[in-house]
Chain A
Amino acid sequence: MNTKQIFSSLLFLLSILVLIPWFIATSGRWDLYYTLTSVALLAIASAGVWLTFYIGRINIGQGAFALLGGYITAILITKAHFSFWIALPLSGIGAALISVLIGLPILRLRGVYFAMITLVLTEVGRLSALALPITNGAKGISNIPLPGKVSLFGIPIIPDFATLENPRIGFYFLAVCLMILCFAVVFRLVHSRLGHLCRSMQQNEELTASIGVNIAYIRIIIYALCSFMGGIGGSIFAVMSQSIYPSSFQVADSINFMLNCFLGGLGYVFGPMLGTVVLYFGWDLLFQTGKYQMLIYSSLLILCMLILPNGLLSLRLPGRKNS
Chain B
Amino acid sequence: MEQILVNGAYLGAQYALIALGLTLIFALMNVLNFAHGQMYVLGGFVTYTIYGQLGMPYALALLVTAVSLAVVGAVVERFLFRPVIRRSQRDESTMLLAAGLGFFLDAVILLLFGEKQRGVPKLIDGVFNWDFRVIMPHDRILIGCLAVGCIVLFILFMHFSKTGRALRALAQDRDAAQLMGVDVDRYSMTGFALGAMLAGIVGGLLVTITGVNLGMGGPTSTKAFMMVMIGGAGVIPGAIVGGVILGFMESILLSALASYGDVTYLLIFVSLMIFLAIRPNGLMGKPWG
B99 nearest CB across to chain A (Å) = 6
A269 within 8 A of B: no
B interface, size bucket: 35 or more
Q: Is B179 an interface residue (CB 8 A)?
A: no
The contact of A267 among B89, B96, B228, B262, by CB within 8 Å, is: B89
User: Which of B101-109, B159-167, B192-200 is found at the contact surface with chain A?
Assistant: B101-109
Q: Which of B3-11, B49-57, B139-147, B218-226 contacts A (4 or more CB under 8 A)?
A: B218-226
B180 at the interface (CB under 8 A from A): no
A251 contacts B222, CB within 8 Å? yes
The docked-state distance in angstroms from the alpha carbon of A301 to that of B261 is 40
Q: Are A127 and B265 in contact (CB under 8 A)?
A: yes
Binds B, one of A1-9, A113-121, A220-228: A113-121
Is B262 a contact of A120 with CB atoms below 8 Å? no
Find out whether the CB atom of A291 lies under 8 angstroms from the CB atom of B88.
no
Q: A263 an interface residue at 8 Å Cβ cutoff?
A: yes
**Contact between A123 and B269 (Cβ–Cβ < 8 Å)?**
yes
Nearest-CB distance from A206 to chain B (Å)? 11
B124 in the interface (beta carbon within 8 A): no
> Contacting B101 at CB < 8 Å: which of A266, A295, A302?
A302
Decide if A113 touches B276 in the complex (CB within 8 Å).
yes
Q: Chain B residues with Cβ under 8 A from A117's Cβ?
A: 229, 272-273, 276
Say whether B1 faces chain A, with CB atoms less than 8 Å apart: no
Given contacts A263-B96, A298-B107, A302-B80, contact A112 B270 (CB under 8 A): no
B288 in complex: contacting residue of A111, A120, A259, A302, CB < 8 Å: A111
Check: A130 CB closer than 8 A to any chain B CB: yes
The smallest beta-carbon distance between B62 and chain A, in angstroms, is 28
Q: Would B233 and A112 count as touching, CB distance under 8 A?
A: yes
Residue pair A305, B97 in contact (C-beta under 8 Å) = yes
Which of chain B's residues have a CB closer than 8 A to the CB of A109?
276, 280
A309 within 8 A of B: yes
CB contacts between A and B, total, < 8 Å: 142
Known: A53-B92, A116-B229. A298 touches B266 (CB 8 A): no
Task: Tell me the smallest distance from the CB of B107 to a CB of chain A, in Å.
Answer: 4
Measured between beta carbons, the chain B residues less than 8 angstroms from A302 are 80, 97, 100-101, 104
Cα distance A292–B266 in the bound complex, in angstroms: 35
| B225 and A310 contacting across the interface, CB-CB below 8 Å | no
Q: When the two chains form their complex, are residues B107 and A120 in contact, meaning their CB atoms are under 8 A apart?
A: no
CA distance A119 to B103 in the complex (A): 17
- B226: chain A residues at CB < 8 Å are 116, 120
Q: Render A129-152 as a binary contact track against B, CB cut-off 8 A, 1 for contact.
A: 011000000000000000000000
CB-CB nearest in chain A for B89: A310
A215 contacts across to B, CB distance below 8 A: none
Does B172 count as interface, using CB distance less than 8 angstroms?
A: no
Q: Is the CB of A124 within 8 A of B218?
A: no
Chain A, residues 235-279, CB within 8 Å of chain B (1/0): the string is: 000000000000000011001001100110011000000000000
Q: Mark A281-323, 1 if CB is under 8 A from B, else 0.
A: 0000000000110110111011001100110000000000000
Q: Given the complex of chains A and B, what is the CA–CA distance between A309 and B37 in angstroms?
A: 24
A258 to B90, CA, bound (A): 14
How distant is B224 from chain A, measured CB to nearest CB, in Å? Answer: 10
CB distance from A51 to the nearest CB of B (A): 15
Closest CB in chain B relative to A85 CB, distance in Å: 33
* A193 interface hit (Cβ, 8 Å): no
The docked-state distance in angstroms from the alpha carbon of A116 to that of B276 is 11
Q: Quick one: CB contact mask for B207-219 with A, threshold 8 Å, 1 for yes?
A: 0000000000010
Q: A131 to chain B: closest CB distance in Å?
A: 5
B107: A residues at CB distance < 8 A: 292, 294-295, 297-298
Closest to A57 in B: B92
Complex contact B222–A123 (CB within 8 A)? yes
In the assembled complex, the CB of B284 is this many whole angstroms from the nearest CB of chain A, namely: 14
Chain A residues with a Cβ closer than 8 Å to the other chain, count = 45
Indicate if B48 sits at the interface (CB-CB under 8 A).
Answer: no
> Is A106 an interface residue when CB atoms closer than 8 A count as contact?
yes
**Which residues from chain B contact A255 at a C-beta distance below 8 Å?**
34, 99
- A258 contact set on B, CB distance < 8 A: 95-96, 99
For residue A81, CB closer than 8 A to chain B, the reply is no
Using Cβ atoms and an 8 Å threshold, which residues of chain B touch A212?
none
Task: Say whether B95 contacts A115, CB under 8 Å.
Answer: yes
Counting CB contacts under 8 A, is B83 at the interface? yes
Nearest residue, chain B, Cβ from A105: B277
Asked whether B110 is an interface residue with its Cβ less than 8 Å from the other chain, the reply is yes
A108 interface hit (Cβ, 8 Å):
yes
Name the interface residues of B119-139: CB closer than 8 Å to any CB of A.
none
Could you tell me if A110 and B288 are in contact, using CB atoms closer than 8 angstroms?
yes
Q: Could you tell me the distance between the alpha carbons of A252 and B99 in the complex, rounded to whole angstroms?
A: 10
A113 touches which one: B90, B270, B280 (CB < 8 A)?
Answer: B280
Instruction: Tell me, in angstroms, the Cα distance from A259 to B96 when the chains sit together.
Output: 6
Q: Is the CB of A259 within 8 A of B99?
A: yes
Least distance between B219 CB and chain A CB atoms (Å): 9
Q: Which 9 A-B pairs have the closest CB atoms?
A: A105-B277, A309-B88, A298-B103, A294-B107, A301-B100, A298-B104, A262-B96, A295-B107, A127-B266
Given known contacts A113-B282, A124-B270, A291-B111, what 18 new A-B pairs fall within 8 Å (CB)? A58-B92, A108-B277, A112-B30, A112-B32, A112-B289, A113-B285, A116-B229, A123-B222, A131-B266, A255-B34, A258-B99, A294-B103, A294-B110, A295-B104, A306-B80, A309-B84, A309-B87, A309-B88
